Structure 1
């Protein structure tokens, strides 16, 4: 399918919660005069989504969105994960089981709209997949070995085989007593935290028992693989701008958008 082909209609849902141990009131953090969650929604509105909705856990987030013309829903505060919040938002929106939703994290104000489109397009092209996501090539050995950088390996059909914080694929012959000395070839892939879902699967997902590998790696997407669901992976040459997890990240993004 050509790059100009428009994906089937899809909804972007942006989960946003006020509680953050490292950055209190993160969704409302000011970035060049706008709350961060509004910045995220404005980026998503540049995609081909039929609608963009913020799923918030606090009325202050909903109010900030409405003040800037962004659609927002108030969801429960007791959700244990972003996917639970997404599932409730889909229910509130009355989306059909075969509808597609792209989850854009509320702390990704630099997410490329083109990448949102590609994740939606991939899911529409791969009916055997319950989810879609994205990755890009790793060019830094430090990044490859960093446990905070999630890696993904795929099969020949670009379906995810595994996600890990470990350096995968493990290059047996690239080892010395001091560790890896170079990157394997072809380049390993860094997972990008954007997901496409079919609404029917999203309703099912929170009820699936957590997987041992999910608990060990602290990676929720491993639950889908553990229970036999397939995740299609779009490999992009475009590296998204930094997300916001810490005050230092926030300052970096402020400088980029100032």
Structure 2
């Protein structure tokens, strides 16, 4: 009885190898519930970062826009010829440079630049651009048009981000667990540990959660200025390594293949049925 209660307690936390291994015997609903709790924490961390680090720059950039300017037929019609930095902080910079001349140089970690035919994104990861849509729609890029729109959509943007992250993370973890389940099952097989493929998927689904918690801490650290962008990217790589380590180590904490850790209710009945005639004789 003590072993059973201890195993149930371990199932509630995936932050040790034994705890992750215990999820193999848990119901799928229990695993999904724990994943949902971690996903909610991750969504809260991302929304906090977006609200504290990026949205103020977007707000200031909209306030710095001129009274005229629009995107029409895939081209930005802008009243100023010179490149202009609209707003920036340590995390994000937003500017307008019709020719992408490189005149706007910001130490921000991510730079968004509106050009004449596209919007460019530049960061430590590289450079990419997205062309404006070639449509009849006219998109106002000016303060009178965007200021009230942003005031109305700022709260929904945060809620959409929160819901999207909360839904997307369990799906990503389920896919990653399916990838890690194969190696986990093979390790359990060669180590003579009891683990079916479904159980290995549940173990792998729990094994990805410690890395997720590490990434949540890294996001808070980055937003508070404790770590920089390079260290955040290092944490991103490290959290994947943690996932693999947990998925590969947890199978060794499963019961031996020959042992029967779950009590079989029919074993006692069969033994009684076999011993009954012997006693009578």
TM-score range, shorter chain: under 0.3
**Length-normalised TM-score, structure 2:** 0.20
**Length-normalised TM-score, structure 1:** 0.21
Structure (1 or 2) with the greater strand fraction: 1
Q: Bigger radius of gyration, 1 or 2?
A: 2
